[in-house]
Amino acid sequence: MKPRTGAAVTLAGCGKTFADGTRALAPLDLSVAAGETLVLLGPSGCGKTTLLRIIAGLESPDAGGRVLFDGADVTALPIEKRNVGMVFQSYALFPNMNVRENVAYGLRVRGVGKAERSRLADEVLEMMRIDALAERRITQLSGGQRQRVALARALAVRPKAILLDEPMAALDAALREHLRGEIDALLRRLSITAVYVTHDQAEALALGDRIVVMREGEIAQVGTPREVYERPADAFVASFVGTTNRLEGTVRGGRFACAAGTMALDAPDMPKAALLFRPEAARLVLDPPAGLVLKVEQVQFQGARQKVTLCTPDSVRVVVETPPDLEIAPGMLMGLALDPNRFSLV
């Protein structure tokens, strides 16, 4: 199939309050560039699915909210007129049709003739490498196969944007990791606009050009995977995306001070500060100089790396991953050195 680019999607002031008064989404602005893969990441109930359904046209935003595709207002258009492709969490494959009929369905309602739509459906099936399944009933497919058929069906209509609602939530971990790579390659090859909802941070980091971290109906941070991972905007983002260490203390005169010691950094004075960093953003140093000094509590050898749990004098635990060549034993005192630019101060 020919590569194509999708539409730019813009949300302006889109909030959602349901009929029973619960507020799922605070009014927010967001734009997705044409061809970009944007991941909406957050715990369940954070409003990410509601946001996706507003883009799709399955929910309408509260008064004043607007949805634009390539600058054209589509807020009043129902989903069937928006030309989006959607992959549902349950896949929503039609049990009364076989695989090919499912994939061709979007073309069928667009009035494409039977022979032509079968040919187009087969093309997409081939691209997804599931052409052998064309005649199967949906009930005869495995979870991973269903997932691919759902994706093929959404792509077959050449949508302006593809919207994926936790498409891998129903699959087991190993399959998820495998399909993650496939979906990533596919979305990049087609350079189609994609909005991907997930609560799995690994999926978000692997797939997103940008990640929107959401919490209780609001956007907590928007950024590239690297930004979100290494410089989380706040403690929530930090804790939701990967393992995070957190040291609390103060900043005075260009030095961060906590119970474990002090460390130089470039920041204005703060009476209360928290230093956030990832396990792999720090190094352990033998024979510690001044700086931050912690006591080793536990060492887990993991082959390529070892995971060291350390403890500050005020009993805060810090996890650091280091190369295994360092001989470390519980009880030792180690110096903690942070890579510049790989921590955040909040």
Residues that bind other proteins in the complex, under the rule CB under 8 A = 56, 58, 60, 78-81, 83-86, 88, 90-96, 105-106, 109-110, 153-154, 157, 163
């190094």: which residue's tokens? Answer: 283
C-alpha pair distances (Å), 250 with each of 219, 294, 308, 311: 28, 18, 25, 19
Cβ-based nearer residue to other proteins, 152 or 211: 152
Helix (H, G, I), strand (E, B) or coil at 315: coil
| Least distance from other proteins to the Cβ atom of residue 125, Å | 16
- Residues 175 and 144: their CA atoms lie apart, in Å, by 7
Q: Which is nearer to other proteins, 69 or 240 (CB)?
A: 69
Closest to other proteins by CB, 77 or 270: 77
Q: How far is the CB of 102 from other proteins (least distance, A)?
A: 9
Separation of alpha carbons 241 and 195, rounded Å = 19
Q: How far is the CB of 85 from other proteins (least distance, A)?
A: 7
Decide if 41 contacts 240 (C-beta within 8 A): yes
Q: Which is nearer to other proteins, 93 or 310 (CB)?
A: 93
Q: Which is nearer to other proteins, 76 or 185 (CB)?
A: 76
Q: Which of 86, 62, 82, 63 is CA-nearest to residue 9?
A: 82
Minimum Å gap between C-beta 45 and other proteins is 19
CA 97/CA 131 separation, integer angstroms: 16
Beta carbon nearer to other proteins, 96 or 315: 96
* Min dist. Cβ of residue 23 to other proteins (A): 20
* CA triple 188-190-196, angle to 5 deg: 60
Using DSSP's 3-state secondary structure scheme, residue 346 falls into coil
65 touches 14 (CB < 8 A): yes
In the bound state with other proteins, the residue whose beta carbon lies nearer, of 93 and 281, is 93
* Distance in Å, CB of 74 to other proteins, minimum: 13
Could you tell me the smallest distance in angstroms from the CB atom of residue 103 to other proteins?
10
The residue with tokens 């009993």 is 315
Tell me the longest C-alpha to C-alpha distance in the chain.
77
Supply the minimum distance, in Å, between the C-beta of residue 143 and other proteins: 16
Please give the order of strands across the beta sheet that includes 66-69.
Answer: 23-32, 9-17, 66-69, 72-73
Nearest to 108 by CA among 82, 80, 137: 80
Q: Which is nearer to other proteins, 25 or 52 (CB)?
A: 52
Residue 341 has φ and ψ, to the nearest 5°, of: 70, 5
